[in-house]
Amino acid sequence: GVGAARAGNLTFMVGGVEQEFDAAKELLTCMGSNVVYCGAVGTGQAAKICNNMLLAISMIGTAEAMNLGIRF
């Protein structure tokens, strides 16, 4: 989010040629505290999608539990 970006605490999940990742890693560490090489092209996006899906499932579960609790 915006707060993490301002604080330089972003996480970058990167896919692509490993030598190109190594060349870009120094620049990415200026913007984020976690830089993870995920593998071939597209794997960084796949990891981000999985991370976002898990976050959404957690948020939905919390909202449903709160709703159920309120109704009881």
Q: Is 48 a catalytic residue?
A: yes
Beta carbons of 16 and 39 less than 8 angstroms apart:
no
Q: How many CB atoms lie within 10 A of CB 44?
A: 19
Q: Which residue in the list 10, 15, 48, 60 is annotated as catalytic?
A: 48
For the annotated catalytic residues, the residue numbers are 48
